[in-house]
């Protein structure tokens, strides 16, 4: 992972740079993450900006360094969610840190538009994973622009990251599935 010496947050708190992950699969296995639990109401974060600032302050207080300052992965839930921030360090005894398991595969898709319109894109990612014989797991969102900077940075952008695991049952089904139904 790159160092964060030249990366800084924008004045609004958004990342000035973010991972150059093209649409496709990546593996973040073994990455040290700062994890902050956040309250949710039906998958909508409550006081999201305040928790982002709290996470930034916690990381600075622990004298750790964000890989991409301002970049994080948000996992939602009905009543509780998490914000995960990748760190440059490989280990630390501090609290609220976890090393993600190896492998930690993510299917990445950069979404241009409003959060309310992303349902179709999430379904598309899920279908692609199932078609590849992979079992979709949790969905992470990374907000790359905010209402303050979205006009200056080519509109609303959200990075969708769907974790997946290999599934021998799905792979076996795909192998047994007829490839051409018209061939009788």
Q: Where are the domains of the chain?
A: 24-168
Q: Looking at residue 99, what is its pLDDT?
A: 95
Chain segment 35-83, per-residue pLDDT in tens: 999 999 888 888 988 999 999 999 999 999 999 888 999 998 888 999 9
Q: 52: helix, coil or strand?
A: helix
Q: What percent of the chain has pLDDT over 90?
A: 46
Q: What percent of the chain has pLDDT over 70?
A: 92
Q: Looking at residue 5, what is its pLDDT?
A: 47
Whether the pLDDT of residue 88 is over 90: the answer is yes
The span from the CA of 174 to the CA of 134, in Å, is 10
Around 145, how many Cα atoms within 13 Å sit in the side-chain half-sphere? 18
- Please state the pTM of the whole predicted model: 0.82
- Contact by Cβ (8 Å): 175, 133: no
Q: Which of 92, 78, 87, 95 is nearest to 36 (CA)?
A: 95
* Residue 82 burial (CB count, 10 A): 20
Whether the pLDDT of residue 182 is over 60: the answer is no
Residue 36, classified by CB atoms within 10 Å of its CB into exposed (0-12), middle (13-18) or buried (19+), is buried
Q: Fold for 24-168, please state it.
A: Multidrug-efflux Transporter 1 Regulator Bmrr; Chain A (3.20.80)
- 105's CB contacts (< 8 A; 6+ apart) are 25, 26, 27, 29, 134, 163, 164, 165
């Amino acid at each position: 992972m790159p160092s964060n010496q030249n990366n800084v947050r924008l004045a609004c708190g958004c990342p000035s740079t973010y991972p150059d992950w093209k649409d496709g699969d990546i593996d973040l296995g073994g990455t040290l993450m700062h994890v902050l639990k956040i309250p949710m109401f039906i998958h909508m974060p409550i006081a999201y900006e305040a928790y982002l600032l709290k996470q930034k302050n916690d990381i600075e207080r622990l004298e750790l360094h964000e890989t991409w300052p301002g970049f994080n992965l948000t996992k939602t839930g009905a009543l509780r969610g998490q914000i995960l921030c990748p760190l440059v360090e490989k280990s630390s005894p501090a609290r609220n840190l976890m090393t993600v398991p190896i492998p930690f595969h993510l299917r990445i898709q950069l979404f241009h538009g409003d959060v309310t319109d992303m349902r179709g894109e999430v379904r598309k990612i899920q279908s692609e994973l199932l078609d590849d014989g992979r079992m979709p797991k949790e969905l992470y969102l990374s907000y790359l622009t905010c209402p303050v900077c979205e006009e200056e940075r080519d509109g609303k952008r959200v990075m969708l990251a769907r974790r997946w695991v290999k599934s021998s049952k799905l792979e076996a089904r795909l192998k047994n599935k007829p490839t051409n139904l018209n061939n009788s």
